[in-house]
Structure 1
């Protein structure tokens, strides 16, 4: 018996039950704050003398569990999980660069990365420029004395061009410029940037790593500890905190990542060949197909790992595009990628809608251009759906 009245003690936190066994599933820890024993212990935590959590914006267990798993995949240390892929991109750029610095980006980066490069960084005194990542000579010509970083995607979104990573890394190393690689499309299953001279690796975990369209997260890791701290400090200060629940979901999704990736990649290869044989399809873009413009480089860089992304162009404009989508109701038409199921996106009406028409035309992104994030369905279903869609568009 106790003298305490039950209603008076409800607000007190109950201790976690002791157990000689342990949970098989990763516990979800949504706590915003963590209690320390006394000011000395809190000082020791902030000073790094002892390990411990303080405030979730500065780190929490579910983010760390997820980050360590992606670190393992990428051969990294001390990676940071952020609230989105664009938060990871922003943390890498803004955490390291300052007024007077110059950064160069591949000219076919993801649409929001392009916007950050071409419209936002200049407001903070950071100069920017673009280059063709398939032609390292354009990078060499664009580098200035104040150039501090290059940002590139191994495989571009949505045109699936393959960057000359060997040439880019060599130039960055020779000129003392940091190389940041967005590895979202290729994933560490296809390519590990740190093994090829990169200084920073970025992911939209939302996509293939988490894989179920139910968690919005990013990841960024740097080889140099000083850069890691600069990125971490900026992300914490600006509140790029990931949700513990999203981290928990993503870690669960990551457990099946190799199986999902391999199945989706095989489906993509078969679908690409099938599309190429359909009347009404002008062209198909898939890295390991012999007709890919960067085929030899893709094979040298990625081997047989063509990935799960396929792009294709219909004969016809917006009317044909609308007809194709309407004829494929079981394939999600959505501006995303990396889901366990196949999704179809139309860059002109989504990711690249704010890119100048002439720039879209130069990249080959027409009204009939689609990007497919291939999932793990039975391949017969996908071949049926896309056959019906192309037939309707024609």
Structure 2
């Protein structure tokens, strides 16, 4: 009797191909001979060896995001922060200097403030809306500049073209985290970026059920350094998450356009409401960087908006509790709208004075707009504002 423990002989032969990419969770891949394995490692033959070094679902997803960003040979990692780490730790060494935008994602700021200096890599922060601020932060040993095109959560617009020209003139790498903006807003490689990264977890995958990152570089040598770092340190993506993200990516452009249209309408509906101090959305006339938004984002505002209530934490609590149907959660890019309070989540590590310096008060909220009907969404926000007004009486 043949043992059921013997390895199967592979997939059944078929003259047709699956419409949906198969989920391939195998950790290991068998080769015919040592010579065949050598050929794979030498790049002379295609194939997979061990999932930490790459697997089919990750490669399928990477090629799809490559196409959106105008990239080649991007790499999928286990999270957005894994992508940031692959850049900052894979491309720098002790003695180097890194400049970051002063409103980067909180964990990116922590990595720069605490982990890079521990490894002998110095860091500085600069206002990326002000080219002079970035130029003043550069040093002879500056290796790279890390920016987000649209800041989190105040939605300021970086001087992308100016920073790209400055970095090129100084021989410094420009790295762009394009998570907030997405390729529908801007393709940083087309504007002079050397490295682009994403938290695929957010709008690209779009369903709050995936944790992944993507990173790509123009220079294959830089890409290889990041890939080796990711493989060595085990920044491995799950095949199942890659499979889910590919499914989500199929509707990305439709989701982005619907959410963007709703965000624009919601921003205009909120502006001028009693209890609202200010509304921030890139295409509004009162946005401080509107002209740059028209140029860099080509007039596209995206799905993110922010607003500030009159009042402080008590008013914020009242609004969040009464805003029925909107998840109060520190995330973005979901099919449903989410409400985030930076002072108690993404920027809680900053002092109140530091938050105020960048425009984040206790009454400040960030909104990741989803796919709901705009009128129904505004009704939820009206309920939140009514609770704020009731508490003020």
Range of TM-score over shorter length: over 0.9
Give the TM-score of the pair, scaled to structure 1.
0.97
CA distance in 2, matches of 1:374, 1:9: 52
Question: What is the CA–CA distance in structure 2 between the aligned matches of 1:314 and 1:46, rounded to whole Å?
Answer: 58
Match of 2:30 in 1: 35
Q: Using the alignment, how far apart are the partners of 1:334 and 1:78 within structure 2? A: 33
Q: CA deviation at 1:241?
A: 0.3
The corresponding residue for 2:244 is 249
Q: Are residue 181 (structure 1) and residue 159 (structure 2) matched?
A: no
| 2:81–2:213 Cα contact (<8 Å) kept | yes
In 1, Cα distance between equivalents of 2:17 and 2:67: 23
Determine the C-alpha separation between the residues in 2 that align with 1:241 and 1:16.
25
Distance in 1, matches of 2:77 and 2:324, equals 33
- Measure the CA separation in 2 of the matches of 1:12 and 1:198: 47
CA shift at 1:9, angstroms?
2.1
Instruction: Give the SS at the match of 2:15.
Output: coil
Which segment drifts farther, 12-21 or 39-48? 12-21
Measure the CA separation in 2 of the matches of 1:341 and 1:143.
Answer: 41
Deviations 1:323-354 (A, max 9, x none): 11111131011010000110111011111111
Alpha carbons 1:111, 1:355 under 8 Å: kept: no
3-state SS, counterpart of residue 159 of structure 1: coil
> Map of 1:314-329 to 2, 5 A cutoff?
314-329=309-324
1:373 corresponds to 2:368 = yes
Task: Find the aligned partners of 2:115 and 2:131 in 1 and give their Cα distance.
Answer: 25
Q: Deviations over 1:61-104 (max 9, x none)?
A: 00000000000000000101110000000101100000000000
Does residue 1:287 correspond to 2:282, yes or no? Answer: yes
Q: CA deviation at 1:301?
A: 1.2
> 1 CA distance for matches of 2:181 and 2:204?
11
CA distance in 2, matches of 1:94, 1:172: 19
Q: C-alpha separation between the residues in 1 aligned to 2:59 and 2:215?
A: 12
Q: Could you give the per-residue CA deviations for residues 276-315 of structure 1, whole angstroms, max 9, x where no partner exists? A: 1210000001000000111111111112210000100001
* RMSD value, Cα: 0.9
For the pair 1:167 / 2:162, whether they are aligned, the reply is yes
Offset at 1:12? 2.9
Shift of residue 119, structure 1, vs aligned partner: 1.3
SS of residue paired to 1:240: coil
Match for residue 198 of structure 2 among 200, 203, 219: 203
Find the counterpart in structure 2 of residue 93 from structure 1.
88
SS of the equivalent of 1:9 reads coil
Q: Distance in 2 between matches of 1:74 and 1:228?
A: 15
Residue aligned with 1:306, SS:
coil
Q: Is the 2:71–2:216 Cα contact (8 Å) retained in structure 1?
A: yes
2:339 to 339, 344, 361: 344
**Pairing 1:305–2:297 present:** no
* CA positional deviation for 1:117: 1.0
1:272-283 alignment runs, 5 A limit: 272-283=267-278
- Find the counterpart in structure 2 of residue 332 from structure 1: 327
Is the 2:324–2:383 contact (alpha carbons within 8 Å) kept by the matching residues of 1?
Answer: no
The match for 1:142 is: 137
Q: Deviations over 1:15-56 (max 9, x none)?
A: 311111111111000000000001000011001010110000
SS at match of 2:302: coil
Q: Which residue of 2 aligns with 1:116?
A: 111
Tell me the distance in 2 between the aligned counterparts of 1:223 and 1:297.
25
2:114 and 2:385 map into 1 onto residues whose CA distance is 37
Task: Judge conservation of contact 1:278–1:387 (CA < 8 Å) in 2.
Answer: no
Q: Does 1:238 align with 2:233?
A: yes
Question: Equivalent residue for 1:45?
Answer: 40
Secondary structure at 1:364 match in 2: coil
Q: What CA distance in whole angstroms lies between the structure 1 residues aligned with 2:282 and 2:137?
A: 27
Contact 2:307 2:364 in 1 (8 A): yes
How many angstroms does 1:11 deviate by?
4.7
How many Å separate the matches in 2 of 1:359 and 1:178?
A: 28
- Per the normalisation by structure 2, the TM-score is 0.98
Moved over 4 A (4+): none
Provide the rounded CA distance (Å) in 1 between the counterparts of 2:126 and 2:368. Answer: 26
Unaligned runs of 5+ in 2: none
